[in-house]
Structures are given as C-alpha cells and as structure tokens.
Amino acid sequence: MRYAALTDVGRRRSSNEDSHLADGRVFAVADGMGGHLAGEVASGIAIDALRDITGARDLERLVIERVQRANSLVFERAQADSDRHGMGTTLTACVVEDNHLIIAHVGDSRLYRLRDGRLKQLTKDHSLVAQMIERGHIKPEEAAEHPQRNVITRALGIEENLKIDIKSKEMAPGDRYLLATDGLTSVVSDDEIASVMASEDALEGASEKLISLANARGGPDNITVVVFEPEGWGRTRPKKRWVMKTITGLLAVAWLAYGGWIAWQYVTSGFYLGERNGRVAIFRGVPGDFAGFTLHTLVKETDIETGKLPAPYQRRLNDGLPVGDLNSAERTIVDYRSLIKETR
Ligand code: MN
C-alpha cells in the first residue's frame, strides 16, 4: 500500500483534537469532542485501539472487539472525570486484509473511494443532517449551511453499548481511498475532493492540496486526511501469469519426456507384424509415430502378399500385430504360409 497522512489545526481552533493512523495495514481517522482537551484524549484512545492488529483468524471480529474496548475505555473515563464528561469521538477505520478492506465506522468522518475517476462515499454519516436528508426534510445542498450540521447521532464513548457500522469491500487495482474528518468535508465539496484525488499523482501532494483547500475556506475545524492506494498489482499479476506459464511449460516438457520414455520402451523392446508394399513385414518398435518421430524400423519384408490372407488377418496387420520377439515373429510368418496353402 502507498499512503500519506496529514493533519492540520485549521484557522479557528487553538488545538487539534483529531487523531489518525496510517501504517500500511491500518488507516484511520478520529475526530474527538469535549472540552479541556477531552476530545484529543478520546480520539487518541480510539486510534490506539487499532494499533498492532496482527493476522487474526477472524480479523473483522478482532476489529469490532478493539473498537468496543475503546468505547468502554472512553465511556468509563468520561464517567470518572467530570472535566471529561461528554467526551467522545468519531472513528472511521480501514484494515487491509489481502485485497479487502474491513471498514469500521462510527460518526461523521468519512471514507471515500475513487474508482475509474468517480468518487464514492463508502460510509454513511451518523449525523442529524444526514438523517434529515434521508427522511426528505432537507435537500443535500442545504446540509452545509444547516445550523445543526455539526450534531452527530452516534459517537464512540457516549453510550455503554456502541453500534458499529462494519463492512468489507474488495479493492481493485487503481483504486484510491480517502479518510477525512468533517474539517475537510464540511467546507470542501465531493466534486472538489474528486478532482484533487484524480489529478494529483503523489499522495502527499493530494493531502496538502485538500488541507489548503479547507483552510482557504476559513478552516473552521481541525482537518485530517489519510490517502492510500493498493500498489504492486500491476506487477504481481503478470508475474503470476509468467509463473503459471513456466509451470505449464515444465509440465508439458515432463509429459513429453515421459511419453518419449514410454515410446522408447516400445521401440527398443517390441516387434510387430505389419504391411509394407502389399506384403507382410516384420517391424521393430510400434506402429505410428510420436511427436513427429517414427517409432519403428523395418526388420524384414517377406514375400507373403497380405491380400492372400483372410480379411481379419489383414485388418490386424494393418493395425500392427504385436509379437513378443523376433522368433515369434518368424513363427507367425510360418503360420501365415501354411494358412495360405490350406486356403488354396
Ligand atoms: Mn471535526
């Protein structure tokens, strides 16, 4: 995975209460809330819960457990410390498993995917305005100006039991992903985000551009962006094809060698009677050929005309009649002679 992450306090806040993580395996943003630096503590706890997630048999379950544990931790601290009462945080996290992303989401931070030039929001905002849009009370374009636009309906650390949105998405080569807190999305439109994501080759450049766009719009809130994309698929796929071709080639060579060995056994050990120039002949080897090689040599042509033999004998000679060795070949020739004499 290639990735870049950037956070900025913005133009109006005195401290940054966002936290984030980008380590190549886990990508996450968290937007903390609550006075006296409580937001910073809450978002920090949520992010810390996702560190060192190593290969579990059921990774999705492990992610849920970690997020639930973070929820309990924030909730308990908020209860214990009156200064931190009401502290909570959003959390939007992606854990990479093979070519899949396990996505865990609570709150109004967002995950976007740019695929084939089109930007799609993969998470659903847990906010009052999102609910109002869904119910048709307001139009999407009214959300940005709505007085309650910052009210979220779900957050980590607020209640004892947390409902987490969890899903798995397959990644495709060329995909690009963006995690962002509302410091970006409340002032920069999806279209603008799409154009930056599609036009900036370097992920660092894209991150910087998104942050400066938000600050150019007044930077009313802390801004955090994490950009990542799968890499190496363009290289590994042809490599796998190359490996498969080589294996297929080696198998073909082995098969030919094996077939050749079998054929060689016939050639060196067997004799058969066949037809040549209308007469019975003794051959060493086997009738027909293998991979373009003739597998028999003429030992002796007799003066027995095959046309004088009964039809079933002629057919067997056409196919090649195996005989164990040269002696039995000669004995069969003698039999043929007496057969022809008798039928006369
Ligand atoms: Mn925020």
pLDDT for position 237 = 45
pLDDT for position 273 = 92
For residue 312, the CA-to-ligand 1 centroid distance in Å is 95
Per-residue pLDDT at 235 exceeds 50: no
pLDDT for position 257 = 83
pLDDT for position 238 = 47
For residue 160, the CA-to-ligand 1 centroid distance in Å is 22
Tell me if residue 138 falls in helix, strand or coil. Answer: coil
For residue 293, the CA-to-ligand 1 centroid distance in Å is 78
pLDDT tier for residue 234 given thresholds of 50, 70 and 90: very low
pLDDT for position 266 = 61
pLDDT for position 296 = 84
DSSP conformational letter for 127:
B
Q: Mean per-residue pLDDT for 172-200?
A: 96
Token duo for residue 268: 């060196």
Helix boundaries (H) for the chain = 38-48, 59-80, 128-134, 182-185, 190-199, 203-216, 233-269, 311-319, 326-343
Give the CA count within 13 Å in the CB-facing half-sphere of 167: 10
**Average pLDDT score over the chain:** 90
For residue 21, the CA-to-ligand 1 centroid distance in Å is 16
How confident is the model over 274-307, as pLDDT tens digits? 999 999 999 888 887 776 667 788 888 999 999 9
Per-residue pLDDT at 335 exceeds 60: yes
Of 164 and 335, the structure prediction assigns the larger pLDDT to: 164
pLDDT for position 240 = 63
How confident is the model over 29-69, as pLDDT tens digits? 999 998 777 999 999 999 999 998 877 789 999 999 999 99
pTM metric for this prediction: 0.68
Q: How far is CA 221 from the centre of its chain?
A: 37
DSSP conformational letter for 11:
S
Q: Which residue has the tokens 């007085």?
A: 147
For residue 183, the CA-to-ligand 1 centroid distance in Å is 5
For residue 342, the CA-to-ligand 1 centroid distance in Å is 111
Alpha-carbon dihedral 69, 75, 81, 85, rounded to 10 degrees: 150
Of the chain, the percentage scoring pLDDT greater than 90 comes to 61
pLDDT for position 126 = 96
pLDDT for position 180 = 98
For residue 181, the CA-to-ligand 1 centroid distance in Å is 6
State the DSSP H helix or E strand holding residue 27, giving kind and residue range, or none if neither: strand 26-33
Q: Which residue has the tokens 């039999």?
A: 335
Of 225 and 270, the structure prediction assigns the larger pLDDT to: 225
